[in-house]
Amino acid sequence: MAHAVRALWPGGLALTWRLGGRPALGLPAQSRVGLTGAAGGPGPAATTRKGGPRLLGAAALALGGALGLYHTARWHLRAQNLRADRSAAQLSLSSRLQLTLYQYKTCPFCSKVRAFLDFHALPYQVVEVNPVRRAEIKFSSYRKVPILLAQEGDSLQQLNDSSVIISALKTYLVSGQPLEDIITYYPPMKAVNDQGKEVTEFCNKYWLMLDEKEAQRMYGGKEARTEEMKWRQWADDWLVHLISPNVYRTPTEALASFDYIVKEGNFGTVEGAMAKYMGAAAMYFISKRLKSRHHLQDDVREDLYEAANKWVAAVGKDRPFMGGQRPNLADLAVYGVLRVMEGLEAFDDLMRHTHIQPWYLRVEKAIAEAPQ
């Protein structure tokens, strides 16, 4: 709007025309006879009032510009107030939540949740779960991480599955519905996976439960909503499965990865030593099975590079993020998955051999600059 004021200010009447649909003030309608005299030449009345229309015109121009500037400023302040009200409402909602995240720091699904929480400036406590004993989550029949406990007043809710956690919290922030109601929209469902193992899936986990006006305000159109859901699912169904084969690709990389896992994780001294060497050896061989299961290329780096460039192509050159000027849930999901490789050879190769680094750094900056 500031640009509009500068562009239109030289013509104050033009400004009020664009804002109000018509000029707020113009010259009074007069007959040609009244201006030139009855005989067509300048008469005495015209002579004595010769400067009148000019003065009126100048006054009209000044008044029109002033009115236009007034309405512009009023609109701008109203828009600022609306944005402030929304931010305050979101802050009020977030302040009512006490969040505790049970995680493995190096887990890509947990990293996705942290990226979401950090970007939305939601305060939370972290409990690092011991991956061997998992005593920290003994209260839960659901034995995977991440698990998020959300205290809202007297209501304590447990949210399972990274995508459910993100969708439920985003729905809460946008709609203001009680979290205990929102959780019912994502019911767990038992299923059997490709290996014949029973697993828990969650219905609707990529869908935000918003009404039509809320969805329009957030997405602007159905295409943006569909795109976000598609790429969130892609991050879970494909991108995340490229991490282990790449960070455990060689014995050296496997050892470096487990050294990082032990340093960042919740291990005892003996557990850490055993995990570092025995875990690295085990995961090196397991990664070969994962490579076969997901039909990856002989050099799994190529699959990682192709995935990164596919994502960059989907974002395109005309917007900094898939969400436009701000990261959306797909941006945060892809970033969260890739972030767990930071400091490892696979991450350095990814930044060096693909086009993803500029986008990655933009998301990193957006999260770092989120209001705390």
**Catalytic hit among 70, 102, 110, 335:** 110
Query: Bridge partners of 103?
Result: 128
Give the separation between CA 72 and CA 80, rounded to whole angstroms: 12
Give the separation between CA 128 and CA 134, rounded to whole angstroms: 9
Amino acid occupying residue 58: A
Backbone torsion region of residue 204, taken as left when φ is above 0, otherwise alpha when ψ lies between -120 and 50, otherwise beta: left
**Residue 107 known to be catalytic:** yes
Q: Which two tokens stand for residue 341?
A: 């490789």
Q: What are 313-320's contacts with CB under 8 Å, separation 24+?
A: 314/227, 314/231, 315/359, 320/359, 320/362
**Residue 203 known to be catalytic:** no
CA 27 to chain centroid: 51
Contacting residues for 119 by C-beta, under 8 A, at least 6 apart? 327, 332, 366, 367, 370
**Catalytic hit among 109, 116, 305, 360:** 109
**Catalytic hit among 70, 102, 104, 305:** 104
**Catalytic hit among 107, 219, 335, 360:** 107
Burial 248-274 (b: 16+ CB within 10 A, else e): bbeeebbbbbbbbbbeebbbeeebbee
Residue recorded with tokens 């570092």: 276
| Catalytic residue numbers, as ranges | 104, 107, 109-110
